[in-house]
Amino acid sequence: MDFAVHHVTYVCILLMLTGGLSLIHGRTGLLSIGHAGFWAVGAYTAGFVINRLAPDLLAADATAGSRLLSVAAFAAAVVCAMLAASLCGLLVGVPCLRLRGDYLAIATLGFSEIIRVVIVNAESLGGAAGMRVPAVVCVGDTRRFVFAGIAAAGAAFSLLMVRNLLSSTHGRALISIREDEVASQLLGVNVTRYKVVSFVFGAALAGLAGAVYAAYMGYLAPREFGFMKSVELLLMVVLGGIGSLTGTVLATVALYIIPEALRFAEWSVPVWSLTDAGWRRGSVELAELWMVVYAIILIVMMLLRPQGLLGSWEISRLWKKPNQRPDATG
């Protein structure tokens, strides 16, 4: 049960990340392989703010006032994290967005790696050893439920914002960029502005995710925010369907649950391994093979269905009249 609550919280944090990434990638065709960088900025900003404002407000004998203060500190941390992450989004977005797709991808990767190196080297952020974040909002048995609630609210907020952004005229402009950048430029869509806006917004959601993560986990390690994390997030967006928020949500949940379930199942499979003395037969748990399976899924998906499982299908189509489809493309 406790474990289930943890998983729900974690999935909700992931949803904030993939929702933002889905906005950036799915709807503008831009590929960011450094999304974990924005997440890191949010998490460490929040951690820093909480360390400053609420070092130990929630000791055993905490008063109601200091409890309230710790909630305020958390709120301040969320705001600061979102601001810092969107500032970074702006900083990366404005100069880099005129680069072509694959170059932009590499630039975002470079950016996120710089962030990671800076964190590892910054003593005030705990360096390679990681950063401890004091407890805020509440402690004790109810804590995990409170944070599950916060994370769920954050995820709902993120997904709603992304959806609204997409179904507005703004969203239509973004889709037209994905379909044909040059043509939409000629039609008077301010391509760069839309790109920057979606980029900054996606980054802000990553900042939010970072703040919730920092407060929930109580400890931040720089290696959590590495390149592999960015790739994992990207895969969730891509597998679900590039341009489908429904697909993103499903893929996020599925790709989180499957390895957890495999770990739980403890199935073992025979494998051959190569040692200095030659080939040797052994066995390994399926959960450990998950990354291999993951990679195969990605490759096969690209070969068979490059637009992702759901393409750009949205669940809302089930109850919307066909002519109201927000992204009916010609």
What binding mask, one character per residue, do residues 242-271 give for another protein by CB under 8 A, x or -?
-----------------------------x
**CA 136 to CA 74: how far, in whole Å?**
6
Which C-beta is closer to another protein: that of 265 or that of 271? 271
| Alpha carbon distance 35, 202 (integer Å) | 9
Q: What's the gap between Cα 96 and its chain centre?
A: 20
Q: Do 40 and 222 form a contact (C-beta atoms < 8 A)?
A: yes
Q: What is the DSSP string of 253-268?
A: HHHHHHHHHHHHHT-E
Tokens of residue 238, six digits: 């891509």
Is residue 276 part of the contact set for another protein (CB under 8 A)? yes
In this chain, which of 68, 129, 261, 295 binds another protein, going by CB under 8 A?
A: 295
- Residue 129 touching another protein (CB under 8 A): no
177: contact with another protein by CB under 8 A = no
Q: Which of 111, 213, 216, 313 binds another protein (CB under 8 A)?
A: 111
Q: Is residue 48 within 8 Å of residue 24, measured between CB atoms? A: no
Do strands 219-220 and 131-132 pair parallel, antiparallel, or not at all (unpaired)? antiparallel
Taking a C-beta distance cutoff of 8 angstroms, is the pair 216, 13 a contact?
yes
**Per CB under 8 A, which region of 188-196, 202-210, 292-300, 309-317 contacts another protein?**
292-300
Question: Closer CB to another protein, residue 110 or residue 218?
Answer: 110
Kindly state whether residue 107 participates in binding another protein, applying the rule CB under 8 A: yes
Query: Could you list the residues that contact another protein (CB under 8 A)?
Result: 29, 31, 33, 95-96, 99-103, 105-107, 109-111, 113-114, 117-118, 120-121, 182, 227, 231, 234, 238, 271-276, 284, 288-289, 291-292, 294-296, 298-299, 302-303, 306
